[in-house]
Amino acid sequence: MGGTRDALIIANDSYENAGLKRLKAPAHDAVALAGVLGAPGIGGFHVDVMRNEPAHVISLRIDDFFADRRPADTLVLHFSCHGLKSESGELYFAARNTLPRRLASTAVAADFVRRRMTTTRARSVVLFLDCCYGGAFSQGPASVRAAEDAHVLDSFAGEKLGGGRGWAVITASNSMEYAFEGSDLAEGSAPRPRPSLFTHAVVQGLATGEADLDEDGRVSLDELYEYVFDHVRRQNPHQTPSRTVDMQGDMYLAHSHRRRITPAPVPDDLRAAMRSPDLYTRRGAIAELRARMENADLPIAMGAREALAEMVRKDIRFIADEAQRALGEIAINPHPVRVDFGTVPRGAPEPHRAVRLLGPPLARSCAPHPKDDWLRAAQTDDGLDVSVTTAKAGRLSGDLVLKGVVGEAMVHVEAEVVPAERTAPPEPEKGPSPQGDGHADATRPAEPAPPTRPPEHGPPPGPQGDEGAPRVDEGVTRPLGEVPPSPPDEGATRPLSNVPPPRPTRPPGDVPPPPRQGGRVTPPRKETAPPPPRRPPSPARRVPAGARRAPVLAAVALALAVTALFTGVMAAVAATKVGEALARDGGIERIRAHASENGLLAPLLVALAAAVAAIVFRALARHELGARPGRYPEPAEHATRALTWTANLIAVPVAIIALLLALAYFVTLGVA
């Protein structure tokens, strides 16, 4: 019965004690490592993250983490924090409430962690320590400094852990080396969104599969350590990752998409066709190998690719060029090749975009390699899931390189991370005062009242000047639709219904102002909601002229091939008649006359020229399609491939037959 895979990530970057320098990396370490370990296609761990918790909470969670385990369980514990050494030489991990002079009660003892690893029943335990020790702390009256070097791995020496197999401790640095957070060690600098060198190497090695050194589809602990060691030493020669291991066999931490494909040998009859002295047999072998490259079985497809590469190296120029064209048809083809996330608020959840990988399975067998730390890519069933981090504001522009067995491709990614307040939605406009004072919001421009029409049978009589009735100017008439001036008394209040709110933002149920006519007040009419504005029809999406080039070239090639076929048939009929006439006359002296009488030469030359032109246009269409992957829609790409395949099927035999007939005619003419 299989065990569970659990990971506990402890990140402390903020401390109550002033002597402990605030770290920059742990928060980002936790996010980055949790993402890659928790990814189903990579680590498949159930991940729990603790950040800036006090020592007693961390100790209790560690105790629970190692308790009630089974031998088949796999456990990963990761610390990103300060490492402190007591006066007696004991190693502690700093928590939020750690006091340097009270480490036993306010910090997490390394011996406590070791004992929990010793007593657990799980036999696959890995402890990652991305900590800075002793001499990494600042100097001054509130500083903390160890008296001697803190040899980290010595704290985990002694009896075998985890039942004697399957445990490892890997630390970012040992003794007084600093676990670098980039190259900036200055005090008071703002936190950077990049993880430390050590955790960054762990995340990159697992996420991209580069830590799978033997390309067997799995990342072992040994492979991960070798990759991290080389990566960290290459970035900073002054930092040396270290490890201590007691393990029987290999321990695998993650899956990898860098699986090496072992080519399957091509069948014997196909191998014989590749080496046949007959030109057409070898061309038929190329067509068969092209079809095998699209096989879903990757070893079969890879074997066909290697066989085509062999023909490119060893065969004559004509066959080698056709084999090279067949190889060029299978390439990594991402769609789209440019991903723009637009404006993203800082600190928002990571936005995601899908990138499809087009083509046969062999072309889709590739791994993403982000060139920047803010760029993430995970493989999905039909392509990639691309995302960007939003921890740091600024313009992001970088490339995602796709590497596979058939070559490389690139996806350009852009985004602009802006402060959150820039993307906050505007506050809703204030409506009329709920007290009914009738004054419009000063922040909104006043809109003219809608025009009113006089009633058909005259205004009905109504009280004027009564309490509760609207006041009007006696004896004043205005043109229809004119906005009445404001009353002279600005402090006076009017009923709510006398102040028309702007029509576009009128609350439901609000009553428009009663129209005025000849000093009288007409009864308010029930207002109906205006119909929504009609949106102009959106223009049809136009395809750029450059995106139609390959289909047009393919159509021209097919038209020329059909022309060559018809004229070739006419030339073949004429050649048959010429042959019968020569046999009847018993000599070849009159071949010119018979060819002229039966109309042989004109259709023969037209067929040859049209066939050659069709082959040329077919090659131009395929070159255009391969030189701009992702530019053409999928239907256009499929149509282009179908047209070029049909044109090639027709034009090549016609060209060969027409060339042979033309050579026979001119040779016979020379002999005669």
CA 364, 369, 373, 379 dihedral sign is: positive
653 forms beta bridges with none
Amino acid making up residue 83? G
245 forms beta bridges with 168
Token pair in block for residue 148:
């001697």
Q: Is the pLDDT of residue 368 over 90?
A: no
Question: What share of the chain in percent tops pLDDT 90?
Answer: 26
Kind and range of the H or E run holding 361: helix 361-364
Kind and range of the H or E run holding 402: strand 394-404
Reported as a single tens digit per residue, the pLDDT across 444-496 is: 444 444 444 444 444 444 444 444 444 444 444 444 444 445 444 444 444 44
Q: Is the pLDDT of residue 519 over 60?
A: no
Helical H segments across 194-316, by residue range: 197-208, 221-235, 268-274, 279-292, 298-314
Q: What is the pLDDT of residue 288?
A: 94
> Any idea which of 49-63, 242-256, 456-470, 620-634 has the lowest mean pLDDT?
456-470
Beta strands (DSSP E) in 52-166 are 74-85, 91-94, 107-109, 124-133
**Dihedral (C-alpha) 49, 54, 60, 66: value to the nearest 10 degrees?**
40
Beta strands (DSSP E) in 140-261 are 167-171, 218-220, 242-246, 252-255
Arithmetic mean of pLDDT over the chain = 75
Q: What is the pLDDT of residue 208?
A: 80
Which among 281, 225, 230 is positioned nearest to 253, based on CA atoms?
225
Q: Is the pLDDT of residue 617 over 80?
A: yes
Pair 385, 359: CB distance under 8 Å? no
Q: What is the mean pLDDT of residues 147-152?
A: 50
Token pair in block for residue 643:
């047209």
Which residues are CB-contacts of 349 (< 8 A; sequence separation ≥ 6)?
Answer: 390
- Give the C-alpha distances (Å, rounded to integers) separating 601 from 589, 591, 652: 17, 11, 20
**Dihedral (C-alpha) 659, 663, 669, 672: value to the nearest 10 degrees?**
-150
Q: What is the pLDDT of residue 7?
A: 95
- Give the C-alpha distances (Å, rounded to integers) separating 111 from 133, 134, 318, 559: 16, 18, 73, 82
- Grouping H, G, I as helix, E, B as strand and the rest as coil, residue 301 is helix
CA distance 324 to 311: 9
> Regarding predicted confidence, which is higher, 278 or 24?
278
Terminal Cα-to-Cα distance of the chain (whole angstroms): 90
CA angle 370, 376, 377 (to 5 degrees): 80
Q: What is the pLDDT of residue 433?
A: 43
Which among 614, 598, 600, 623 is positioned nearest to 655, based on CA atoms?
614
Amino acid making up residue 398? G
CA distance 116 to 93: 15
Question: What share of the chain in percent tops pLDDT 70?
Answer: 69
For residue 186, count other CB atoms closer than 10 A to its CB.
5
Give Dmax over CA atoms of the chain in angstroms. Answer: 130
Q: What is the mean pLDDT of residues 598-608?
A: 86
Beta strands (DSSP E) in 497-652 are 516-517, 520-521
Q: In which band, very low, low, confident or very high, does the pLDDT at 205 lie, cut at 50, 70 and 90?
A: confident
Strands 520-521, 516-517: pairing is: antiparallel
CA-based radius of gyration for the chain: 40
| pTM for the whole structure | 0.48
> Any idea which of 60-64, 155-159, 335-339, 521-525 has the lowest mean pLDDT?
521-525
Reported as a single tens digit per residue, the pLDDT across 408-450 is: 999 999 999 998 765 445 444 444 444 444 443 434 444 444 4
Which among 602, 616, 605, 604 is positioned nearest to 652, based on CA atoms?
616
Q: What is the pLDDT of residue 582?
A: 74
Reported as a single tens digit per residue, the pLDDT across 122-149 is: 888 999 988 876 433 333 333 333 334 4
Pair 50, 133: CB distance under 8 Å? no
Which among 266, 265, 286, 259 is positioned nearest to 364, based on CA atoms?
259
Strands 167-171, 242-246: pairing is: antiparallel
If you write DSSP's letter for every residue of 408-443 in order, what string do you get? EEEEEEEEEEE-GGGGSPPPPPP-S-TT---PPPTT
For residue 61, count other CB atoms closer than 10 A to its CB.
14
At 125, give phi and psi (nearest 5°). -125, 130
SS3 string of 25-44?
CHHHHHHHHHHHHHCCCCCC
For residue 314, count other CB atoms closer than 10 A to its CB.
12
> Regarding predicted confidence, which is higher, 322 or 28?
322
Q: What is the pLDDT of residue 366?
A: 84
Reported as a single tens digit per residue, the pLDDT across 524-575 is: 454 454 555 554 444 444 445 556 788 888 899 899 999 989 898 998 888 8
> Regarding predicted confidence, which is higher, 107 or 23?
107
Which residues are CB-contacts of 84 (< 8 A; sequence separation ≥ 6)?
Answer: 91, 92, 93, 94, 98, 100, 103, 107, 133, 134, 144, 146, 150
Q: Is the pLDDT of residue 64 over 90?
A: yes
CA distance 8 to 540: 54
Reported as a single tens digit per residue, the pLDDT across 231-286 is: 888 888 878 888 888 777 778 888 887 667 788 999 999 999 999 999 899 999 99
Q: In which band, very low, low, confident or very high, does the pLDDT at 105 lie, cut at 50, 70 and 90?
A: very high
Strands 74-85, 5-11: pairing is: parallel
Pair 178, 135: CB distance under 8 Å? yes
Q: What is the pLDDT of residue 463?
A: 42
Which among 207, 299, 287, 300 is positioned nearest to 253, based on CA atoms?
207
Q: What is the mean pLDDT of residues 96-119?
A: 90
Token pair in block for residue 569:
């048939």
Q: What is the pLDDT of residue 196?
A: 77
Q: Is the pLDDT of residue 518 over 80?
A: no
